[in-house]
Structure 1
Amino acid sequence: MNRDHDTGDGVNGAGPLAGIRVIELGQYISGPYAAKLLADLGADVVKVESPDGDPMRRWEGRGAMSPQFAAYNRGKRAASLDLKSDEGLAALRELAGEADVLIENFRPGVADRLGFGPDALRELNPSIITCSITGFGPDGPYAARPAYDTVISAVGAMYSQVVPADTLRPLGPAFSDLLSGLSASQAILAALHARGRRPGGGGEHVEVSMVGSLIDFLTEAASTYLETGQVAGPDSRPRRAQAYACVGSDGKAFVIHMSVPEKFWTGLLDVLERPDLAHDPRFATREARVRNYDGLDAELKAITERMPRQHWLDRLAAHDIPHGPLNTVADLFDDPQIASMGLVEEIEGPDGAPLRVPAPSTVFHVSGRPALRAAPMLGAGDADSLARGATSVAPAHDLAPEGTRA
């Protein structure tokens, strides 16, 4: 279809996806993140919410818009619809009839039951690409369960790779939410490309599961187990990659990654001024260092704690050893490399106050991308005006759809 939608405010006038309209029926992270990535590329994204709004709007008691909601929903427009009512469903169908893509992350079967599943939308708009993001896929014993990131990260073995067995606890960030959103955006881009090459330009349905996206991300651990029976844990890859975390005398942490080339090990010995370690049978070969990872880790920590971190960072850089400071989020944007890359931009927030946000170039660089815009306020549009491209409109409708996946 690839129509040049006129949004009336230049929203969709730049970027490689200019002219593509996306309807997002997402809540929380996976669906909204997928749609945000498309908006960053220039798509005109209309976020359809119940009158109560996406629950993430109300996180941390910040009123109409939490910082988490703002992060995952910037650059979009908004409509408030009751998708259980005839009026709300008709309004959604009007939007979908002029859309290129529709994204939803309801539980399996909910969209079909409410009347806007892929088959129903394809009858209305043969060119539309529909994308369903579910926790466990469309069927199977877990398919109907509520799918939160913690559950998927546990079932999909992510926690087993990052949480030591003696400190069992859920761990951030939202791995499966973000990975499934990224997978969905990639699948949608591929479907748009295929539609442009297909005679008649017909659309298709794309299905992405959170657990499947997570398992694909764990390709190394999964493939190793399937081939050898070896079960990876939190220290498996650092041991194999010869990656270490150290702390300077000032309490500041940094990492070293030696990988395979022997030059990094010999260079590290020069940095540490410990040539004797080259003759220690525990560390004489890479295979020995993998076997004796814990012993070498203890040796490195004992040495690095004698001098401040910057001393070690300077010496590691001079010897071309892969390394870096172990930044917190508070450190991140003050890091000289990050600061030099222009990865933070200031935009006007929904209340007119300036907001600093991560720029799309944190993920990709594209030419002619649209200017960043803040996430929309709840009830900022209705379906009729959004379908026509207007952006200054009244709120609409009542009641939230039931059965949605959180």
Structure 2
Amino acid sequence: MTEAPSYGFDTLQIHAGARPDPATGARQTPIYQTTSYVFRDADHAAALFNLQEVGYIYSRLTNPTVAVLQERLATLEGGVGAVCCSSGHAAQIMALFPLMAPGCNVVASTRLYGGTVTQFSQTIKRFGWSAKFVDTDDLDAVRDAIDENTRAVFCESIANPGGYVTDIRAIADVADAAGLPLIVDNTTATPYLCNPIAQGATLVVHSTTKYLTGNGTVTGGVVIDSGNFDWSASDKFPSLSAPEPAYHGLKFHETFGSLAFTFHGIAIGLRDLGMTMNPQAAHYTLMGIETLSLRMQRHCENAMKVASWLEQDARVDYVTYAGLPSSPYYERAQACYPKGTSGLFTFAVKGGYDACIKLVDALEIFSHVANLGDTRSLIIHSASTTHRQLTPEQQEAAGAGPNVVRISIGIEDADDLIADLDQALSKACG
């Protein structure tokens, strides 16, 4: 299928990147379960290894099934290219890898998934990198945190776990003024609800494990490149602008232009880090994306109904869903996320930590798992699980205090979900 700007999201989520298999005519994208590919001849092999020709060498680098997913996601996000990898955490490292060097830092939002906070505050130190965490609602704080060693700004479009919505355009303007790329994790919103690139983001990352796949079967991640950043405008990004010794002095930005980041992600990132997505995972995710818009509509409708009910319940202190008129982010959400604010939010239970534990154990439809974005409704007590490595102050900043549970609303009957929460709250707060 030939993509064109006139095609709508619902069409592109099914057709972008996919064509009938030329060998068999198979309509669904085949799973190319192979490690390697036969070269036409010695010159063809040399051209591929020299990056003079695009093709398939080895499935750590490129695979036809994964390539379809990369093209589809780049199309849906409005980017020029994408690199799929083994998980959302892998995608974050892949996004930072071409930008950072020992002594460099990333300015990151305080409202991030707990695992991301740990990765940025602890793990990346082993590369000699560091992170500065700031409240991205405070644009002056973002500006003040940027210094001569900053190489990127990082935020989530709709933050996990609290469902807070980010003014991407405002942060993009700050990053642009500093000559830095903005990286936006769009996992919770998905490209159906939010297009960070249209709002000024340079790179978009996803845990494809979540809403994109939508069925809780496989892990995966992706980095999508807008193609809009000038990597040669300064000397801050030598991996992309300076000669690359491993490719006889090739300069990625000079050679590949708007696709420089994507080619580097494959030719260097996947080659050396090896955080590859397997073709079966890509296949499951492709099938999930075919119904993305339909699922996200139901996720949003159900979340609004459940959040509204919870907000009126005397056993609940507060609800963080940005779709509620009472939310401090309501006006921003209506302006920036007009189709809805996803199915993820938190609520605080009267009775604190102990009541949260009882609530989780008493639920019957909701599954107690460390995941989100499934067709099934999910719940977790973040302070004792996903955010337990953080300090109490970091937990509160992330919206994961001891009295808070995170719920990911699925696509079941909303009345059934409300009834399940009702009976569990009675047991937790009785």
Q: Could you say which structure has the larger radius of gyration?
A: 1
Q: Same fold (TM over 0.5)?
A: no
Question: What TM-score range do you get, normalising by the shorter chain?
Answer: under 0.3
